[in-house]
Structure formats: C-alpha cells, structure tokens
Amino acid sequence: MSMEFLYAIINFLILAAIVLLLFRKSIISLFRDRRKRINEELDRAEAIESYTPILPTGEARADHSADELAEPKLLAMRASSEERMQQIAKKGEAARLEMRREMLSELHNQTVKRMIEHAAGLLTAEPMISRIRDLEAEMIDRILASVQLTPGDISYLKAHDVLYVTLTSTYALPDELVKRVEAHTDRMLAEVNGKTSFWVRQNPELLGGLILRIGDTVYDCSVAEQLYQLERRSEKDLISGYEDADDLINELKENIESTQNRINIYQLGRVLTVSDGICWMDGLADIMYGEVVEFVRGERGMVLDIQPERIGCVIFGKYQHIESGSRVRRIGRIASVPVGNALLGRVVDSLGHAIDGNGRIRTSEKRPIECRAPAILDRSAVCEPLHTGVKAIDALVPIGKGQRELIIGDRQTGKTALAIDTIINQKGKDVICIYVAIGQKDTAVADIRSKLEKYGAMEYTTIVCASASASASLQYMAPFAGTAMGEYFMYAGRDVLIIYDDLSKHAVAYRELSLLLHRPSGREAYPGDVFYLHSRLLERSAKLSAELGGGSMTALPMIETLAGDISSYIPTNVISITDGQIFLDTELFHEGQRPAINVGLSVSRVGSAAQTKLMKQVSASLRMKLAQYRELSGFSQFGTDVDESTQRILDSGIRMMTVLKQGRYSPLPDWKQALLIYSVSEGFAEAVPVDALEEFEWKLYSFFEEHYPELRERLDSGEKFDDRLKRSINEALSIFIKESVWQSSGN
C-alpha cells in the first residue's frame, strides 16, 4: 500500500516535470502578465493617492484638474454641466418669482374681498349711515352739475316726446331735495322741447347714497357702486402684477381714496332675449358697434348689431345666468386684448386669457381688437424677403415682409405644415410669430405647440386658439385678437408673421353669428359683409414706412377648398384681397410631391422684389422651365414617342420637381436652396439618377461646407452672383460630381 503510494507520488512528480517542461514559456508569460497588471494597478493607485490631497474642493478642484490634465473631454463636460446648472438655477428662480406672484395675487384677491365685506358692514352701520345721509344734499348738487342730455336721449325725445327720469335713494329723501332735482331736469328737457316723466324710488340695495337716471344714463353716487368699482379696479391692477406686498397695500389705499366722492356715469340697458350665445337688449342709448357690455354677474359681450328698437350682442363664454329683463351696462370701451412681450411663448384664447396652464399673463397694455389699417402714406413698399425655408416657396413664390400670401388647398394637403415650417425658420431672425388657430381640434393645437417647443420656436411665438369647441363669437374674434397682438410689435418697429389657420372656418363662424342676428344672407348663405370682414382684417398687415419705425406684419391666411374649387365664394374673396396665393394640390400630394405646391396656380404679386439677389438670379429661369415641363408632361402621358430635345426637357423637369420636395421641420437657409437649384437647373445633376437626388442634395451641402467654406460664405453674404462667382461654383460643382458615387445605379 505504502509502495503504491510512493509510486503514485513519483508518477505525479514526473508528470509535473513534463508539464512544466512543455508549458514553461506560457506559464512564465502568464505570471509576467499578471505581475505587470498588478504593478500597473499599484502605480495608478499611487498616482491617485499623491494627486488627491493637493486638489482643493469644488470648483477650484475642477479647475485644477482641467489645467493639469487639460483633457478636452473633461473641459467640455464641465462646461455643459455648468450650463445645465445655470439653466436649472434660472428656471428655479423663474418658478420662485411666479409662485410669489401667484401667492400675492391670491392674497390680494382675499384682501380685497374681505375689505369690501368689511366696508359694506361699516357703511350700513349707524354712525356711517347718518354721515352719508348728511352728504345727500351735496351729492345732488354734484349730480345736477354734471347732468346733460346725450345724443341718444335727444333722438329718443324726437320719437317719444317724453323722457323718464328716476331718482333712487337708499332712504327717503327730504321733499326739498326731490323738488330741486325735478325742477332742474324739467328745465333741461324744456330746452329741447321735451317733457319729463319724473319718478322717485327707494332701494336699500344701494347701501347708501343715491342714483339719478335720465333716459338710459345713470349718475351713480351710491355706496354699492363704489364697492363695485373698487373690486373692478383691483381686478385690473392684478393683471400688471405686484413685486412687493407694500406695493399692493399702497395700491389698495389709493384705490379706496380715489373712489370716494366720485359720481360714476354709465348707461344701462335691459336684456330682452338670450339664445344661442346672442343677446338682444334695449336701452343703452349711445352704444357703439364693437363695444363691450357687462351683464349682472360679470359676463361680458360685444355689440355687433344696432337697430332702432334693439341691440344685438354676442356673449363671450357662458350665458346660462343671463335672464330676460336683467340689467346690462356699458363699460365704455371697445373689445380689446392684452398685448406685449409677456404673450410670447404662451397659448391664449380670443380674449387674451392664458389657456396653457402656465399662470396669468401680466401685461399693462391692451389694444382694441378692431383697429384702422395703416393709411397709404404710412406704408412703404414690400422689398425685404421673409424666408420660409421651403425651397418651392422661396424660389417660386417668394414672400416679402408685410405681404399677405394666401395658402389655399383641400383638406390634408399640408397647409398647416407649411406655416409651421415657416415659423420654425424664423428662429434667430428677430421675427415675432403669431399662430391663430380657428375651429381646429384642441389636440391639433397641442401638437403644434409641442412641435414648436421642440424646435425652440415657441420663445418668439404666441398661439391664439379658438378651437372647434369654442363659441362662434370667440372664433370670430380670434384673428382680430391675434392681429391686435401683432400690431403692438409692428408699431414698435418689429417684424411680425401672423398665420390665420384657417379663414374658411372663420367665415363659417361669422355666418353663424350673422344668421343668429337675423341678417339677410347672400351667396352660400354668407352675409353680405363677409368680404369686408376679411379685407379689414388683412389690410392691417403692412410694411410701415421708416417714419413709423419700419415694422412689418406678414400675413399667411389659409383657406380650405372643396375638391380644389378655388372659384367658390370665400376663396375668390380672399384671393382678391391677398397679394398672391400658394395653391396646394391634392393630386401632387398623393403622388408624393410634398410640399404639394402647384406651380402653375401659385403666384406672388410682390414677385422677385421680395427675393435676395442670389435667389432672384438663380430661380429666374426655374418657373419657365417648370411651365414647359408641365406642358410637355401632359403629352408624354399618352405614351407617344418624343424627340430628344423634348425628352431632355422632361428629364430636367422631373429632376427639378424632385429637388423641390422637402420634408417637414427642415427649413433650409437661402444659400443651400440657391446652390441646389442652381446646380440642378444648370444641368450638373443630369447624370444623377432621379432616386438618388435626395442623396445628391445632402452630399452637395456637406461637400461645400467641408471643402469650399469660402464659397459658402460668399453665397451666404448676399454677394452679387456675377460671372466670377459663377465660375468658381461651376468648378467646385464639377469636382463634386466627378468625386461622387451614387447609391442608385439608375432607374
């Protein structure tokens, strides 16, 4: 057993010796490798150990390591993280301010409410009552000093001979005071051969003080009115926002002081009927078209119809609480919306209220939604281009700043897509964009907003949205509201782009209102003034003269046609108002020619005055060539044999149509468009198979950017496109064509 054991050991030793002999080299190298790796690790650890203690903490540490190691990657990382930190800090600060403002306005609301309740309690309690009653004689003196007949009263007197005068007070007035008022009004009416029907009433709801009503005009010295004014003024002040609690308190103090001892003069009317968002009223003797009226619970409406016996108005928002016979009062101003920088990046409704959930919009300025268009002398010619970044538009139907260019086409032909690309292309070009969505789905608007945000275009854009679910009155107002917001910037010397998407739905909303207002309907049941509706809207877009600051407002209205019929009522109207149209063709769209611009039917009446010199020269022959191609392509469809020259025109036409295709959200700068069109129209792409033209396009751009930056620079700088420049470009293009290989081997 022990011998066996011994033999086994000897065998093992011999085997081990043989293995060692055979694999000596590899075993040694294995160990050497491991030792080397361990040594390396040790060195690294030592280096880190010696390095760490000398590094200070935080920012300085990052500086030090960057200097010492000077690793570009590290530097870049540091820069980006710093930038991110700054962004986060900025956002945090903005959120903090916003929260503070919200809290202050909430506080303000509550304070005002409490103060008003408190004041009402005080004023109706004993010591105050007798003090206010002592003032009654003085109030009557002040009222009588300010009464006068309005034009409305005089015309009423002509028809009715007698005018109602009512003196309402909280408590019974002494006879002597009543007599004084009666005598005064009698005298005043006698001067215009009228008679008074004098009434005296008592109404405890006034909470103190008195009211004199002559015809529809009210001279109000009541406590209830003072409290109402205080509330309204506080509401208005809220819009401008407070930075400080002290500001708020001072503001309130001033409000209270200025409301004391004041007569408020306004006109009253009475609701006759309410239905379908339309309210008929009487009274309101001197009301004007477009004025805002207020109903009892604070609902507002806008007057759109004035007849001898009744006044028609559209109600903004809800109207369930408005009853027949209830009071309605004039506010004394025409419908207006907030304007200013605070609106940029926001989504608002037709009244300028935020609907994007990002809090209240604080601006101190307002503009009426209806406003006179600039006069002829206030305008200057359209001469500056407004780049859309869409090849087919910039080359064939250029748009200038201050121009009105209609986008017209059937549904789903890429109308909105063109407008959104144009907005995206204005990035960094100092153009304010306003997108007015009329009668669209809320989801479509939300999608547009997220796309604009994604491409960084929301910073300079306002979306005015009256979606399909909004009332006809709000849809009617939306484009006017958007225009007012744009005008603010235009008169401040800025460039504005406004998009009305779309005016057919606007016309339908106006038709609905007109039919509800019982106006006679004309062609296609539209009211007779539907032309005026759109012309007064679009006339407000203009290029202002240098004396007025040289601002501009470019309008891109849209019209949806039915089965390509551009000769129906609304399309012909808007075509004749605008300075040209871009016609989008369903057939082209389905053939894959996108944007589906029909070159034959699209025009720009401003023409090449709104093009850069470069584009003007490059695209001069393009329209002609495309027209030729269209003409001949009709024949070629019959499958006839065509001669060589015709075939050449057809080939180059197909190439040009192909290069005019462009994807969404990819606007191109001017030089790229010009270079591409030039190279194709000069025949450089003749050898390129049609299905490789897309590849040709992007390779061309990167070739010039990489190898000919100076030529790219010259194209971009707006230098004259003369023979010298042409020669250099031709040379570069020849090299490019020679060097390139196309994926497709032909079609």
* Positions that interact with ligand ATP (CB under 6 A): 409, 411-417, 560, 594-595, 662-664
Work out what residue 482 binds among Mg ion, ligand ATP, none; the CB cut-off runs from 5 to 8 Å by kind: none
> Minimum distance between the CB of residue 413 and ligand ATP, rounded to whole angstroms?
5
Work out what residue 560 binds among ligand ATP, Mg ion, none; the CB cut-off runs from 5 to 8 Å by kind: ligand ATP
Tokens of 68: 């010492």
Q: Fill in the DSSP letter of residue 298.
A: S
Q: What span, in angstroms and rounded, lies between the C-alpha atoms of 248 and 104?
A: 8
500 CB-contact burial (10 Å; exposed 0-12 / middle 13-18 / buried 19+):
buried
Would you say 133 or 664 has its CB closer to ligand ATP?
Answer: 664
Tokens of 645: 């020259």
> Minimum distance between the CB of residue 425 and ligand ATP, rounded to whole angstroms?
13
Strands (E) in 594-716, as ranges, are: 603-604
Find, among 568, 569, 627, the residue nearest to 603 by Cα: 627
Q: What span, in angstroms and rounded, lies between the C-alpha atoms of 260 and 239?
A: 23
Would you say 443 or 745 has its CB closer to Mg ion?
Answer: 443
Would you say 213 or 415 has its CB closer to Mg ion?
Answer: 415
Round the CA-based radius of gyration of the chain to a whole number and report it.
38
Q: In 3-state terms, what secondary structure has residue 431? A: strand
Work out what residue 330 binds among ligand ATP, Mg ion, none; the CB cut-off runs from 5 to 8 Å by kind: none
Would you say 370 or 585 has its CB closer to Mg ion?
Answer: 585
> Minimum distance between the CB of residue 700 and Mg ion, rounded to whole angstroms?
32
DSSP string, 40-107: HHHHHHHHHHHHGGG--SHHHHHHHHHHHH--HHHHHHHHHHHHHHHHHHHHHHHHHHHHHHHHHHHH
Quick one: which segment of 120-128, 350-358, 408-416, 545-553 binds Mg ion (CB under 5 A)?
408-416
Helix axes 503-516, 530-538, angle to 10 degrees: 130
Work out what residue 121 binds among Mg ion, ligand ATP, none; the CB cut-off runs from 5 to 8 Å by kind: none
Q: What span, in angstroms and rounded, lies between the C-alpha atoms of 589 and 556?
A: 20
Would you say 91 or 441 has its CB closer to Mg ion?
Answer: 441
> Minimum distance between the CB of residue 416 and ligand ATP, rounded to whole angstroms?
3
Q: In 3-state terms, what secondary structure has residue 108? A: helix
Residues in the chain: 747
Work out what residue 108 binds among Mg ion, ligand ATP, none; the CB cut-off runs from 5 to 8 Å by kind: none
Work out what residue 412 binds among ligand ATP, Mg ion, none; the CB cut-off runs from 5 to 8 Å by kind: ligand ATP
Q: In 3-state terms, what secondary structure has residue 531? A: helix
Quick one: which segment of 21-29, 92-100, 409-417, 608-616 binds Mg ion (CB under 5 A)?
409-417
Quick one: which segment of 15-23, 331-339, 416-424, 603-611 binds Mg ion (CB under 5 A)?
416-424
Would you say 514 or 662 has its CB closer to Mg ion?
Answer: 662
Would you say 593 or 617 has its CB closer to ligand ATP?
Answer: 593
Tokens of 248: 């708020």
Q: What span, in angstroms and rounded, lies between the C-alpha atoms of 479 and 556?
A: 12
Q: Which CA distances in Å does 362 have to 206, 359, 378, 564?
A: 34, 9, 31, 44
Ramachandran assignment for 207, one of left (phi > 0), alpha (psi -120 to 50 degrees), beta (any other) = left
Would you say 166 or 440 has its CB closer to ligand ATP?
Answer: 440
Would you say 507 or 711 has its CB closer to ligand ATP?
Answer: 507
Work out what residue 663 binds among ligand ATP, Mg ion, none; the CB cut-off runs from 5 to 8 Å by kind: ligand ATP
Work out what residue 422 binds among Mg ion, ligand ATP, none; the CB cut-off runs from 5 to 8 Å by kind: none
Q: What span, in angstroms and rounded, lies between the C-alpha atoms of 43 and 49?
A: 10
Tokens of 515: 């039919």
517 CB-contact burial (10 Å; exposed 0-12 / middle 13-18 / buried 19+):
middle
Quick one: which segment of 57-65, 215-223, 230-238, 414-422 binds Mg ion (CB under 5 A)?
414-422
> Minimum distance between the CB of residue 341 and ligand ATP, rounded to whole angstroms?
29
Work out what residue 652 binds among Mg ion, ligand ATP, none; the CB cut-off runs from 5 to 8 Å by kind: none
Spatial contact of 742 and 684, defined as CB atoms under 8 Å apart: no
Query: Taking CB under 5 A as the rule, does residue 416 contact Mg ion?
Result: yes
> Minimum distance between the CB of residue 411 and ligand ATP, rounded to whole angstroms?
4
> Minimum distance between the CB of residue 703 and ligand ATP, rounded to whole angstroms?
25
Would you say 270 or 664 has its CB closer to ligand ATP?
Answer: 664
Spatial contact of 307 and 246, defined as CB atoms under 8 Å apart: no
Q: Which CA distances in Å does 467 have to 152, 507, 645?
A: 38, 14, 53
> Minimum distance between the CB of residue 663 and ligand ATP, rounded to whole angstroms?
5
Work out what residue 352 binds among Mg ion, ligand ATP, none; the CB cut-off runs from 5 to 8 Å by kind: none
Spatial contact of 668 and 692, defined as CB atoms under 8 Å apart: no
> Minimum distance between the CB of residue 254 and ligand ATP, rounded to whole angstroms?
50
Q: Name the residues annotated as catalytic.
A: 605
Spatial contact of 509 and 476, defined as CB atoms under 8 Å apart: yes
> Minimum distance between the CB of residue 512 and ligand ATP, rounded to whole angstroms?
20
84 CB-contact burial (10 Å; exposed 0-12 / middle 13-18 / buried 19+):
exposed
Binding site for Mg ion (CB under 5 A): 415-416
